[in-house]
């Protein structure tokens, strides 16, 4: 990059030297971009604009501008924002444009600001997080075919399946606590992009996307999920 203007959000930062920070951005132009910022980092969840230069993995960031007023999250919105930023940092390869995920991220941040106004905040939260995960996993190269099983046979409503990240939906010949009904899987065949998931789809995706994300993360669990669980138990 040579003095390229980037638009995006800060998703993580850490101290580098006395007046410098290593920062990780999620940008409209290049997805995740890492670099060095020689000033105080901006707030998270805040649209920013800056200039990036350099050929190495760590760019030089200058001319930082904060686009809007600061956004502050509390309670479940706080942990949700932490979760979004953590999976972007952990799963997104550097400097790979992810336009659909970027748009969904911005939309999810806007929706999190209104969670306390919802009649059913828990359902609302599940909805917007599954929408985000749906876009992210597709752009990472893990779209799911809800019509075919691992043997390239049609999913059938009265069959039960076991899901594996690299194989898809594997037909089961015996009972398993991890079993997913074919009827539930087929419910996603009727989904249209941009619409809310119904209750059956939400139940399915909560199970599938958690399993997929856990597999992609490897052995190191999400800090945001651990803190969220701890907070819910206090």
* Residues contacting residue 10 through CB under 8 Å, at least 6 positions apart: 23, 24, 25, 41, 42, 43, 44, 46, 48
- Predicted TM-score (pTM) of the model is 0.92
Tell me the C-alpha distance between 66 and 112, whole Å: 20
Tell me the C-alpha distance between 78 and 150, whole Å: 38
Same-domain status, 113 and 207: yes
What integer pLDDT is reported at residue 60 of this predicted model?
96
| Full domain range(s) for residue 22 | 4-66
- Judge whether 48 and 27 are in contact, CB under 8 Å: no
What integer pLDDT is reported at residue 8 of this predicted model?
97
Tell me the C-alpha distance between 42 and 145, whole Å: 40
54 within a domain of the structure (yes/no): yes
Looking at 28, 45, 66, which one is the last position of a domain? 66
Task: Give the count of domains, the chain.
Answer: 2
186 within a domain of the structure (yes/no): no
48-69 per-residue burial string, b: 16 or more CB within 10 A, e: under 16: bebbbeeeeeebebeebeeeee
Same-domain status, 131 and 206: yes
**CATH number for the domain including 62?**
2.40.50.140
- Judge whether 115 and 77 are in contact, CB under 8 Å: yes
Q: What is the mean pLDDT of each run of 10 residues along the chain (234 residues)?
A: 93 91 97 96 94 94 90 91 96 97 97 92 95 96 95 96 94 88 93 88 94 92 81 64
Residue among 96, 185, 194 at smallest CA distance from 149: 185
Tell me the C-alpha distance between 185 and 193, whole Å: 16
Looking at 48, 66, 84, which one is the last position of a domain? 66
For residue 38, what are its two tokens?
Answer: 């020689």
Same-domain status, 127 and 80: yes
- Judge whether 159 and 145 are in contact, CB under 8 Å: no
Same-domain status, 62 and 91: no
Same-domain status, 59 and 89: no
What integer pLDDT is reported at residue 152 of this predicted model?
96
Same-domain status, 135 and 195: yes
């Amino acid at each position: 990059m040579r003095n390229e203007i980037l638009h995006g959000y800060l998703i993580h930062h850490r101290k580098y030297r006395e007046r410098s920070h290593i920062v990780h951005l999620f940008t409209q132009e290049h997805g995740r971009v890492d670099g060095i910022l020689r000033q105080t980092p901006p707030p998270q969840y805040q649209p920013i604009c800056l200039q990036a230069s350099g050929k190495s993995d760590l760019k030089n960031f200058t001319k930082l501008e904060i686009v809007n007023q600061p956004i502050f999250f509390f309670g479940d919105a706080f942990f949700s924002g932490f979760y979004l930023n953590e999976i972007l940092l952990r799963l997104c390869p550097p400097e790979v444009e992810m336009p659909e995920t970027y748009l969904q991220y911005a939309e999810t941040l806007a929706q999190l600001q209104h969670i306390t106004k919802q009649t059913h905040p828990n359902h609302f939260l599940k909805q917007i997080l599954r929408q985000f995960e749906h876009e992210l996993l597709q752009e990472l190269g893990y779209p799911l075919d809800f019509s075919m099983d691992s043997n390239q046979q049609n999913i059938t409503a009265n069959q039960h399946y076991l899901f594996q990240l690299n194989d898809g939906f594997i037909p089961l010949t015996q009972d398993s606590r991890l079993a997913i009904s074919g009827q539930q899987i087929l419910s996603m065949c009727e989904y249209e992009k941009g619409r809310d998931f119904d209750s059956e789809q939400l139940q399915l995706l909560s199970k599938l996307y958690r399993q997929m994300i856990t597999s992609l993360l490897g052995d190191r669990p999400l800090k945001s999920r651990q803190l969220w669980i701890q907070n819910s138990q206090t």
